[in-house]
Amino acid sequence: MPLLELNKIHCGDCVELLTASQGLHPDLIFADPPFNIGYEYATYDDRLDYDHYVDWTRQWMSACYDVLSPNGSFYIAIGDEYAAEVKLTARTLGLTTRNWIIWNYGFGQNTAKKFGRSHTHIFYFVKDHQHFVFNDEAIRVPSARQLLYNDKRADSRGRIPDDIWRYPRVCGTFKERVGWHTCQMPLKLMARIIKASSDPGALVMDPFSGSASTSVAAAVLGRHYIAFEMDENYAALGQKRVLEALSSGLREINANEENGTPLRSQTCSDSATLFEL
C-alpha cells in the first residue's frame, strides 16, 4: 500500500489501513473509540459482546502501537465499562502509563438508582518511559498561591495541571458544536494534549476521527495530522471542518485557567478563543 496522505481524514477501518500502511510514524496518537454502550452509529455496531469488544480493542491498540514513533505518546479516552481492559491491554503491549486522567465535564447523565456519571477516563501512555515529549511550559496554569494568596513564593511560570481536568462537554448551546456529530471532544482539551505531547511540525494521529476535533486542534496548532473514519459522511464533514478552522483565523491563546478549570463559560465562546487554555 502506498504512503497514506498526511493532513487528511481517510475513510476506512483504522486497523486495516494501519496494518497495510508504510512509513507512518505518528508522534502522538489520540483515540476516542466507541465505548460499547449502545450508541447509534451509522457504520458500526456499538453493542458487541464483551469478548468481541475486548478483542477488537486489542486489535486497534496494537495497530496504533506498531506505527507509533519510538518516542511517541498515546492517549485513549474511554468510559468506566472498559477502562480496566484498556489499561491492561496497554501493559501487555509494553506501553508505560504516565497518567490516568479523569476528565470531569461538570454534569452527568440523569440516573434513577445510582449516582450520575460526570467523567471520562483519559489514559496517557508513552512507548519509551525515558524518552518522550512533554512540553510543560506550554500548558502551565496559575497556581492557587498566585490566584488566591498572592504568595511571592509562587512560581511565576504557574504549575503543571493535575490529573483532574475540568472542561464542559460540547453542548448544543456552544458555538463550537458542529451539529452533525453528537460525540464531540472539546478543542481546549485537545489543545492541552497536543501542546503537551507534541512539538510544532509533529504528526498527530486519530484512529476514530468522529467530529474531527483532534485534526482541527492539530492543524491550528501547527502540527500535521492524519485520521481515520469509517463513516464517509463524517470523514468528509470532518475534513471540511479542519479547512474552515484554518481559513477562519482560529488561533491559539495562552493559558487562562485556574488549576485546570476554565475561568469563564464556553457557552458564548467564539472561534477565536477556543484554544484558550
pLDDT tier for residue 217 given thresholds of 50, 70 and 90: very high
Cα-based distances in Å from 46 to 156, 178, 229: 47, 22, 15
- Please check whether residue 29 lies inside any domain of the structure: yes
- Please check whether residue 245 lies inside any domain of the structure: yes
Question: How many folded domains does the chain comprise?
Answer: 1
Residues 184, 188, 192: CA angle, nearest 5 degrees: 120
pTM for the full model? 0.89
- Please check whether residue 3 lies inside any domain of the structure: no
Mean per-residue pLDDT for 50-77? 97
User: What span, in angstroms and rounded, lies between the C-alpha atoms of 276 and 264?
Assistant: 10
Q: Residue-wise over 215-245: b if at least 16 C-beta within 10 A, else e?
A: bbbbbbbebbbbbbbbbeebbebbbebbeeb
Give me the CATH number covering residue 69: 3.40.50.150
pLDDT at position 143 is 86
- Please check whether residue 2 lies inside any domain of the structure: no
pLDDT at 261 over 80: no
pLDDT at position 39 is 67
- Please check whether residue 151 lies inside any domain of the structure: yes
User: What span, in angstroms and rounded, lies between the C-alpha atoms of 206 and 263?
Assistant: 29
Q: Residue-wise over 113-132: b if at least 16 C-beta within 10 A, else e?
A: eeeeeebbbbbbbbbeeeeb
- Please check whether residue 1 lies inside any domain of the structure: no
SS3 30: strand
pLDDT tier for residue 9 given thresholds of 50, 70 and 90: very high
37-41, 111-115, 265-269, 272-276: the lowest-pLDDT one? 265-269
pLDDT at 255 over 50: no
SS3 138: helix
113-117, 204-208, 220-224: the lowest-pLDDT one? 113-117
- Please check whether residue 208 lies inside any domain of the structure: yes
The DSSP-derived string for 162-203 is -SEEE-----TTSTT--SS-S----HHHHHHHHHHH--TT-E
Q: Which domain holds residue 267?
A: 8-276
pLDDT at 252 over 70: no
Residues making up the chain, counted from first to last: 277
